[in-house]
Amino acid sequence: MWYYRLLMYHYSLTLYRPSFIVSNSSWTKNHVDAILSHSDPVMSALHSFTPLFFLRVFATQYQRSKKRRVRVYPPCDTREMAKFYLNARERVILSIAQFRPEKDHPAQLRAFAQLLADQPTYTSGSSSVKLIFLGGARNAEDRARVQSLQDLAEELMITPHVEFVINASYPDMLSWLAKQALGSARWWMNISG
C-alpha cells in the first residue's frame, strides 16, 4: 500500500510541471483532474522530513487551475457512421488496427479459436461467425506479420472463419463497420496511458 501511495504522490507532483495538459478523451481528462487534485497529508508530512522536501516546494510553484487542462478530440468525420443501422448486422467480429506487434493479433486469433471450439454451432449455418482483421501494413515487416497470422489461423484450423483486409480504403472500412456485430481489440506493452 505504501508503494502505491508513494507512486500516486509523485505521479501527481510530476503532472504539476507542464504549462498545460492536453487529453484526448473525457475519461483521460477526468483521470488527470483526479490525480492533480490528489492529496495525501501523510506523504506530504513524510516528504517534509526527507531530502526530497525540495520536490514538494518546487512542485507547488506549478499548481494551476483546471482551465489549463483541456480535452481535444482528434478530427474524425463521423457523419457516415452516424447513418449506420444498428439492426440487421452480420455475425462479424471486426478488429481494426495496424499490423504491429503491440496489437497482439495472435491473442485475438487464439481467443477466437477457443470461442469456435467452445461453441461449435458458430462454425456453420446461420450461427456462423467470422473474425475480420482490418489494418494497415506499412512495410515488409508488417506484411510478414500478416503472413504469420494467416499461418497461425491455419494452424488453429480456423482459416474459413478468418479474413485479413490489408490497407483497406476508408469507404471499405466504413462498409465493414456498418455490418459488424462486435469489435475486438487487444494490446500489450501499451505505453500511451
**Ranges of each domain in the chain:** 2-71, 81-183
Specify which of 1-5, 72-76, 140-144, 174-178 reaches the highest per-range mean pLDDT: 140-144
Specify which of 18-32, 62-76, 129-143 reaches the highest per-range mean pLDDT: 129-143
* Confidence at residue 191, expressed as pLDDT on a 0 to 100 scale: 46
* Confidence at residue 10, expressed as pLDDT on a 0 to 100 scale: 80
86 versus 99: the higher-pLDDT residue is 99
Does pLDDT of 193 surpass 50? no
* CATH code for the part of the protein at 81-183: 3.40.50.2000
What values do phi and psi take at 182, rounded to 5? -135, 155
User: Average per-residue pLDDT in the chain?
Assistant: 82
What pLDDT band is residue 11 in, cutting at 50, 70 and 90? confident
92 versus 187: the higher-pLDDT residue is 92
Does pLDDT of 148 surpass 80? yes
* Confidence at residue 57, expressed as pLDDT on a 0 to 100 scale: 57
181 versus 186: the higher-pLDDT residue is 181
* Confidence at residue 32, expressed as pLDDT on a 0 to 100 scale: 85
Using a CB cutoff of 8 Å and minimum separation of 24, what contacts does 146-150 make? 146/99, 149/99, 149/105, 149/106, 149/109
* Mean pLDDT to the nearest integer, 148-152: 97
| b/e burial code for range 167-187 (CB count within 10 A of at least 16 → b) | ebeeeeeeebbeebeeebebe
SS3 (DSSP) at 50: coil
CA separation (Å) from 177 to 126, 129, 183? 20, 15, 9
Does pLDDT of 144 surpass 90? yes
* Mean pLDDT to the nearest integer, 44-69: 58
